[in-house]
Structure 1
Amino acid sequence: MSKEDDLKQEVKQLKRETDINAGLSTLDVEKRITDGLVNRTNQGSTKTIKSIILSNLITFFNLLNFAIAGWLLSVGAYKDIVFMAIVSANITIGIIQEIKAKKTIDKLSLLSAPTAVVLRDSELQEIMISDLVMDDILKLSVGKQISADGIVRSGSIEVNESLLTGESDPIIKRPGDELFSGSFVVSGNCLAQVSAVGKDVFVEKLTKQAKKYKRPKSDLLKSLKLVITVVAIIILPIGFSLFYMQMNNLDGQAHLYEQVVRGTAGAMIGMIPSGLFLLTSVTLAVGVLRLAQNNTLVQELYCIEMLARVDTLCLDKTGTITDGTMSVKNTIEYVNPSGMQVKRAISVILATLEDKNLTSEALEEKFGIAQKKIKTNAIIPFSSSRKFSAVEFDKYGTFALGAPEFVLKKEALDKISDDVDKNAKEGYRVLVLAHSKDPIDKDKAPNNLEAIALIVIEDTIRPDAILTIEYFKNHGVDVKVISGDNPMTVSHISKRAGIVDAERYISLDGLSDKEVAKIADKYTVFGRVSPSQKKILVQSLKSSGRTVAMTGDGVNDILALKEADTSIAMASGSEAARNVSHLVLLDSNFSSMPKVVSEGRRVINNVQRVAVLFLTKTIFSFMLAMIALLSKGSYPITPSQLFMIDFLVIGIPSFILALEPNNNLVKGKFLFNVLRRALPGAIVVTLNTVIIFNMKKLIAMTDQQASTIIVICATFTSMMVLYRVLRPFNGLRRLLFAIMFTIFVVAVIVFPGFFEFNSLWQDYYNQDTGALVPRLPIAHLLLMIVLIQASLPLMSIVSSIPSMIRKGVRFILIKLSNI
């Protein structure tokens, strides 16, 4: 028998019924760990440091930059590899920031890490889910995500397997039934024996099923990948064509190999937006760090983008508008034929159900919890879809506790409706305690339940809720309140919190899915909402073009959290809700939400602004390369001449701009927004170059003189792009532009030799060759001044062309319609 067969036989022997009163012993656990029967997989929460370094270092553009730098070194063009300073800085900063973000996320993840309660050595212990072993006795309760496959041994629970199967209906699990990792408990309590761990669990074997949470759709990531793909496809053929054309004298001139290499390298370096992707990663990493400082764990990096685009926020009342603390305000008693006092009945129900939630805690504080339980015949645990729980006691009949509309039939409800409505309108939660002598039949409560008491519960509004709601109102975010409570109660509390149109409320009880979808945009407050209806509301809002964020803390929120563009869970809520969310508020503080949304907007708005600077250079470099190829001329810009654009227009400003505050709502598609602002500058550079090439023979311009005017005009135009990006000016932006523009002017005047320019005011000798380089003639100087002066107005004209076309088309259509 092989070693593998021995291990399989041992595993088979270990799959026995563990004593549910004692659980595994320490020796049993150690044996299973030794044999690898432990709940561990190779999946990690974040990238390793090695993968961060490699992913920042080994990219297509970085490898291309290294290759070009090596090519330039081979011909002795040492001055031209200055561009590698920016590449190296980008790589270094990117690695440092990502590692810092990784360490922060890992620390915060430990605070929010899921745990399991197991019975070992006759004692309940809380352990990390990775420490579960085969045959462990697992205690499961409401809100817990099942972290290993198992078999129910005692008790009963309702589980939701939607994360595995897509079906959202709760499934009752009784002794002997299977439990699957990835599902979560919506009601009840049970003890289960672990039957599979690690890679052997059911969810690991699925190949095309739903994952634990849905990654947010990232327009930013999609756009960046498209830019990189397009540039990667065109850059090598263009570079090869330029090199081949010049080496084979297709333009009718003899070129030195060094000149050909430098010209080709200049074109290729100009087209590479190498810092853009790295700067985006750095900006996102800084966003993660800043959110971490505000006790927010980012579980998916690109969800920060969706935060920036959020225009609708869906939230539950509890834990957001209210602080989560509840107290029993009043008890209204009716005729009680049960033979058990109301106080006694509630305390016994609490002891029997063993539910732990905010409502049960408030009831326990008021009525206590019975030390001696009464013999129980049947139980219906509370669930968000049922909105009540029920217990059948031997000799006393059935007691139900929950929302009046769901516990009582119409006739019984009408008897107490005045009391219910009066308290609901005043903003109180109302529970009914009802009784029937009839038994529970197949998990269904008796139809003849009669109210014996109303319990009036008061929620406490958060002190900072009004300011938080005010922030969203001022920043163009609609707030929708989705709750399982009475809509009148929720509406009253929402009004007090300052939510706009809070008086527009509706109960979703009894509405079909189609009816729910139709009214999503028509109301602000939704009451008596089931978990599946929450999901439908989010889907409907998204289908109407909204970007939806959903906050939640309970198992009833999970389906909606999965569906939302951005999902935010409270750390104090259920484990399952945290696991499916993109963000976790570790202090469970709703007042952190403005900072979270603000950070998302800062990141994306700033990346969008700096992307304009990067793509302006990429686009005009591509256009100049095409002009060179079509005219069979040489590329007019060398790598060293791109220094001013790389450092003064892109490098330094982009890092400063990327970290600036920015609270503007992000609208439109990322790539469209960037191209709309980058194209005018690129087109003006191209037009100026075409004019200079056409004037070359007319005013007797040498290649160096043409290159001088082209580079200075291109840099000035790029400065005007920076000027437009920086508007509206504040103190920092004004100072930044002044410094960059001053350095540009000084560099052109004082260091023409470094950039291989003709001086604007005096002759000088080339330090490398000793040749005299004459100053720029007056005619050339005047041409440059005219082109520079025309740059900004011309950019404005190019920018307005799309709107002029739209107005023209609209005018023509109006005229045609009047014929």
Structure 2
Amino acid sequence: MEDAYARSVTEVLDFFGVDPKKGLNDSQVAQHARLYGKNGMFSLLLARVRIRFPIRSMLLFSQIKIMHFMPVMNTIYIPYAGASFWKLVLKQFDDLLVKILIVAALVSFILALINGDTGLTAFLEPSVILMILAANAAVGVITETNAEKALEELRAYQADIATVLRNGCFSILPATELVPGDVVEVAVGGKIPADMRMIEMLSNQLRVDQAILTGESCSVEKELESTTATNAVYQDKTSILFSGTVVVAGRARAVVVGVGTHTAMGGIHDSMLRTEDEATPLKKKLDEFGTFLAKVIAGICVLVWIVNIGHFHDPAHGGFLRGLIYWFLLIFPDLMFTNHSFVPTKIAVALAVAAIPEGLPAVVTTCLALGTKRMARLNAIVRSLPSVETLGCTTVICSDKTGTLTTNMMSVSKVCVLHTVQHAPVISEYSVSGTTYAPEGIIFDSTGHQLELPAQTPCLLHIAMCSALCNESILQYNPDKGNYEKIGESTEVALRVLAEKIGLPGFDSMPSSLNMLSKHERASYCNHYWEDHFKKISVADFTRDRKMMSVLCSRNQLQIMFSKGAPESIISRCTSILCNDDGSAIPLTTSIRAELESRFCSFAGRETLRCLALAFKRMPMGLQSLTHNDENDLTFIGLVGMLDPPREEVRNAMLSCMTAGIRVIVVTGDNKSTAESLCRKIGAFDHLEDLAGYSYTATEFEELPALQKTLALQRMALFTRVEPSHKRMLVEALRHQNEVVAMTGDGVNDAPALKKADIGIAMGSGTAVAKSASDMVLADDNFATIVAAVAEGRAIYNNTKQFIRYMISSNIGEVVCIFVAAVLGIPDTLAPVQLLWVNLVTDGLPATAIGFNKQDSDVMKVKPRKVNEAVVSGWLFFRYLVIGAYVGVATVAGFIWWFVYSDSGPQLPYSELMNFDSCSTRETTYPCSIFDDRHPSTVSMTVLVVVEMFNALNNLSENQSLVVIPPWSNLWLVGSIILTMILHVLILYVHPLSILFSVTPLSWADWTVVLYLSFPVIIIDEVLKFFSRSSTGMRWFNFRWRRPDLLPKGESRDK
């Protein structure tokens, strides 16, 4: 029943056919269970898309097992179940590049079997490839099995039991047994088990903490009257008790109107379940690059086939047709199975291994993990590695107000009392410092001077007594969390904290005495003092008509009533006012009353403070109970103004976001005027700025025409009176405009938007649901930490871009090496296992060290990068093609040098080297086994390793010379190069390793040639960097790889 809030009690009861005095009978329960369903947390049948990280992106459709169908409100609901373990494993291999590697491993395995090789290296190549893929699958499965944790955490907010009226009797039943129409009794401390409509009040009032649903710190007073407002939000539905919220005061009965997913909490559950996890901007670029690589591999294989058409007539193949098939990578049974018969197949395997940067996933993951470690020192705990680089291109931060920009702790900031100046009464203000529940703060007078002993002023002393005694909350210290917590109303706890800040009269109030107490004792030391010295006799609870609460206390031969409540109610019942000069009471004149009302209006209006008035009255001895008639002829003590204060560091953080080109939208369920006042305080708006077009309520925004909504989204800075669905809608709308959205929050109500955002940021003190749905958690609940995290994210992306470029240029060099060798018709320069070693180890270590390049000083002074920014732009791609071409040519040159020029080589004519495959069919002066010698491939591999070490130094900066940024600016890179060379020397000179990698020790002459061939890569890149710095003519190279076919439908590249 979705409109129960707008219907009267009688209409709701008649709709379900329930007697409020007897409840449902057994037959009605069975009928309603069939018609509406029971109170379980179910989820809609849907197909979910997930993107894995870190190796390749894969579309994973979660499997939904149909256990049973349950009709609920004419809709079929199905319990959600995730994919089985083995299906998750198989899905990790559903990727084009992964499939290419699997085929490469399979072909390599078959070749080893056909050749009959049983040595150590026979199955090394396929084994290494398969181990890489297995590691990838393990990471993917671990990520997937953790994906549903947020949904499990959400179920913890469902009540376990409920007090239900059935067949005329109350009984305790599991909350899951509730059906619509059940009459349920709720009381203070209890959790609401389902969405329910109030039908009877059993106490003076009923207040419910709805913070987990709305995010607002103040509890909501519930009432029996229906709500007539159209487009009512949760805060407006005062007759509805929402599932998962907690009763903080009072007792009442209500009828169940919504169960399962037809509750507010169930709606959040389904919204989270519907949310698709999407790839980060960097990951999308890597996916595009992966597809591009697959096409490059296919293109090069075709090109190798074309350029070798002249070899089809080679007698070794038995004719043109067999030569064509041979070079088309097909092997017939009647072919001679020699090593060289598989050259084309080996070329294909080598190309697959060379073109795919197997080490890139591990390097990306490692560098992101190192970045998360640095961010953890800033109190930003990263739960999802890809989200690290997403921070670097964030353009909009949708920040929850309560608990994120504010402390979510009501705090008294102003106190008004009466003074006399030259015998004339004057209302003066005290300012109170402190923005948390910590019982520490300073009280300043109207001139800004600190009060050393506030309790020695009569009015403040009476305020402390009233705050401590007319109070039903608890302030305590939580040693596990290391902070002070409340039990009860946040406004009452704020008064307890104020009593602690005022202190006690005499020696006990000295700060040195209080500081000697433990935090547990200090939490309510002053409050306990007053509670020990006064005995509570009677309490007149708060009611809506009186708008006040009173407590009768006695001490020795004195009985006194303390009252607190709405200023207009308290002031109207007062006839005198306490003077702060000497503690005497003087008549409350019309002029003083008007001044108090003016001050109250100023607090509530301009400063948006929540105001309470405090008063007292001496009562006759022997009185045992209070009546409403006793609450007259009161003596006014003072006016206190409190608020959920903004965090002290938020203003500077907002300024930093503006400087960095990041727009902040404050999102809150609070009313518009209160939120606008806060935004002015934190610097989101100027104090005199016209907020038209910048500030909207959810209702105002929904009523805008489509075009105006689009324009509003481009300027919006404040979004008020919102519900969870509005937050999710806002994130979706911003993302549709190609904004990269970060959403912050701490409550259950924020979870759907946190999951939908490009990066969800939860508060450390937030709910488990919010944390599980987020990508990052702020351990210190500090909005300013986001700014530091964004700076770190930008630096990580810049470094990530550098090492990706480094690895791409290295892989280009390997592909060029294999391609040139195939075109020239010379033997394989490098074996696949050698390429794997280079890609994983010798490339991986320097690439990881590049991730430690220092952060640029202006990283937060530039606008966020565009989501469609290519990892490698046109000019840079040209640069790395040049570098890669030289790497490939140098590697092949080292191979040819050994055969043609080396003193330790055969010194063959170059023509003999080009016709090596026909060696067995003609007479030669050298044995054909010379072409299987490990020496030339060792020279090639060493050239490739050393030239890539020099190339790593080139990547210290994109455009700056090594003279400006020398190698020692990144000692991690220097260390990684040294370690890489040590490892390479080990595989050359340690016997078992040299056999595994088919290499042999090199002589000093060989090493000299290696250095001659490798060093020029430094000179070439320095020349290219010079052109990058000085030539504007290179700008025309900076095109982007646009791939419209890979974009989601409706998404645009340009912003």
Using structure 1 for the length normalisation, give the TM-score. 0.61
Aligned counterpart, 2:609: 430
Aligned counterpart, 1:121: 163
Aligned counterpart, 1:505: 686
Aligned counterpart, 1:737: 977
- 3-state SS of the aligned residue for 1:740? helix
- 1:796 positional shift: 2.7
Separation of aligned partners in 2, 1:572 and 1:161:
16
Asked if 1:193 is matched to 2:256, the reply is yes
Would the aligned equivalents of 1:160 and 1:184 in 2 still touch at CA under 8 Å? no
Q: How does 1:95-134 map to 2 (within 5 A)?
A: 115-117=157-159, 120-122=162-164, 134=179
Aligned counterpart, 1:402: none
Q: How does 1:415-564 map to 2 (within 5 A)?
A: 430-431=609-610, 455-457=640-642, 465=649, 482=666, 485=674, 502=683, 505-506=686-687, 511-513=692-694, 549-553=742-746
Would the aligned equivalents of 1:101 and 1:286 in 2 still touch at CA under 8 Å? no
**Cα–Cα, structure 1 residues 693 and 616, in superposed 2: closer, same or farther, change >3 Å?**
closer
**Amino acid across the alignment from 1:683:** V
Separation of aligned partners in 1, 2:410 and 2:543:
30
Aligned counterpart, 1:258: 342
**Cα–Cα, structure 1 residues 737 and 198, in superposed 2: closer, same or farther, change >3 Å?**
same
Structure 1 unaligned segments of length 5 or more: list them.
1-13, 336-341, 380-388, 398-411, 435-451, 495-501, 763-774, 811-819
Q: How does 1:192-271 map to 2 (within 5 A)?
A: 193=256, 195=258, 197=260, 218-236=280-298, 238-239=300-301, 242=304, 249-250=311-312, 256-271=340-355
Aligned counterpart, 1:40: 42
Asked if 1:620 is matched to 2:813, the reply is yes
Would the aligned equivalents of 1:433 and 1:454 in 2 still touch at CA under 8 Å? yes
- 3-state SS of the aligned residue for 2:40? coil
Asked if 1:791 is matched to 2:1017, the reply is yes
- Tell me whether 117-126 or 256-265 shows the greater mean CA deviation: 117-126
Aligned counterpart, 1:306: 390
Aligned counterpart, 1:673: 871
Which deviations, in whole Å up to 9, do the C-alpha atoms of 1:613-661 show, x marking residues without a partner?
A: 4422443344456656777777644314425522443244456667x69
**Amino acid across the alignment from 1:506:** H
**Amino acid across the alignment from 2:280:** S
**Cα–Cα, structure 1 residues 713 and 520, in superposed 2: closer, same or farther, change >3 Å?**
same
Using structure 2 for the length normalisation, give the TM-score. 0.50
- 3-state SS of the aligned residue for 1:40? coil
**Amino acid across the alignment from 1:230:** F
**Cα–Cα, structure 1 residues 587 and 28, in superposed 2: closer, same or farther, change >3 Å?**
farther
- 1:737 positional shift: 0.9
Aligned counterpart, 2:102: 66
Would the aligned equivalents of 1:468 and 1:594 in 2 still touch at CA under 8 Å? no
- 1:90 positional shift: 3.4
- Aligned match for 1:806, one of 1026, 1032, 1035: 1032
Asked if 1:686 is matched to 2:885, the reply is yes
Separation of aligned partners in 1, 2:178 and 2:939:
73
Separation of aligned partners in 2, 1:206 and 1:111:
10
- Aligned match for 1:273, one of 332, 335, 357: 357
* Rg (Cα) greater in structure: 2
Would the aligned equivalents of 1:156 and 1:173 in 2 still touch at CA under 8 Å? no
Would the aligned equivalents of 1:569 and 1:578 in 2 still touch at CA under 8 Å? yes
Which deviations, in whole Å up to 9, do the C-alpha atoms of 1:424-469 show, x marking residues without a partner?
A: 99xx7623579xxxxxxxxxxxxxxxxx996422667869x59995
**Amino acid across the alignment from 1:615:** I
- 3-state SS of the aligned residue for 2:411? strand
Separation of aligned partners in 1, 2:342 and 2:304:
14
Separation of aligned partners in 2, 1:559 and 1:68:
42
- 1:225 positional shift: 1.5
Structure 2 unaligned segments of length 5 or more: list them.
1-14, 44-63, 65-78, 201-205, 215-229, 318-339, 419-424, 426-462, 474-486, 500-526, 528-535, 548-564, 574-592, 614-636, 698-709, 902-908, 915-930, 957-966, 1037-1055
- 1:753 positional shift: 8.2
Separation of aligned partners in 2, 1:289 and 1:49:
30
- 3-state SS of the aligned residue for 2:106? helix
Separation of aligned partners in 1, 2:827 and 2:801:
33
- 1:267 positional shift: 1.6
Would the aligned equivalents of 1:134 and 1:196 in 2 still touch at CA under 8 Å? yes
Separation of aligned partners in 2, 1:646 and 1:623:
15
- 1:708 positional shift: 6.6
- 3-state SS of the aligned residue for 1:569? strand
- 1:306 positional shift: 2.0
Would the aligned equivalents of 2:813 and 2:888 in 1 still touch at CA under 8 Å? no
Q: How does 1:644-655 map to 2 (within 5 A)?
A: 644-654=837-847
RMSD: 7.2
Separation of aligned partners in 2, 1:175 and 1:429:
22
Separation of aligned partners in 1, 2:373 and 2:892:
50
Q: How does 1:570-649 map to 2 (within 5 A)?
A: 570=763, 572=765, 582-585=775-778, 588=781, 593=786, 597=790, 600=793, 604=797, 607-623=800-816, 636-649=829-842
- 1:87 positional shift: 3.4
**Cα–Cα, structure 1 residues 20 and 252, in superposed 2: closer, same or farther, change >3 Å?**
farther
Would the aligned equivalents of 2:159 and 2:244 in 1 still touch at CA under 8 Å? no
Would the aligned equivalents of 1:145 and 1:184 in 2 still touch at CA under 8 Å? yes
Aligned residues: 710
Asked if 1:362 is matched to 2:483, the reply is no
Aligned counterpart, 1:9: none
Separation of aligned partners in 2, 1:743 and 1:24:
80
**Cα–Cα, structure 1 residues 314 and 38, in superposed 2: closer, same or farther, change >3 Å?**
closer
Q: How does 1:391-402 map to 2 (within 5 A)?
A: none
Would the aligned equivalents of 2:404 and 2:763 in 1 still touch at CA under 8 Å? no
- Tell me whether 556-565 or 735-744 shows the greater mean CA deviation: 556-565
**Amino acid across the alignment from 2:954:** R
Separation of aligned partners in 2, 1:635 and 1:15:
82
Aligned counterpart, 2:323: none
Which deviations, in whole Å up to 9, do the C-alpha atoms of 1:574-622 show, x marking residues without a partner?
A: 7997787554547746686578557756764554444334422443344
Separation of aligned partners in 1, 2:151 and 2:374:
16
Separation of aligned partners in 1, 2:544 and 2:842:
76
Separation of aligned partners in 2, 1:236 and 1:146:
62
- 3-state SS of the aligned residue for 1:736? helix
Would the aligned equivalents of 1:104 and 1:292 in 2 still touch at CA under 8 Å? no
Aligned counterpart, 2:944: 714
Would the aligned equivalents of 2:105 and 2:130 in 1 still touch at CA under 8 Å? no
Separation of aligned partners in 1, 2:401 and 2:269:
36
Separation of aligned partners in 2, 1:514 and 1:564:
21
Separation of aligned partners in 1, 2:353 and 2:694:
56
Aligned counterpart, 2:904: none
More helix by share: 1
Would the aligned equivalents of 2:693 and 2:715 in 1 still touch at CA under 8 Å? no
Would the aligned equivalents of 1:39 and 1:197 in 2 still touch at CA under 8 Å? yes
Separation of aligned partners in 2, 1:283 and 1:755:
28
**Cα–Cα, structure 1 residues 113 and 235, in superposed 2: closer, same or farther, change >3 Å?**
farther
Separation of aligned partners in 2, 1:508 and 1:139:
49
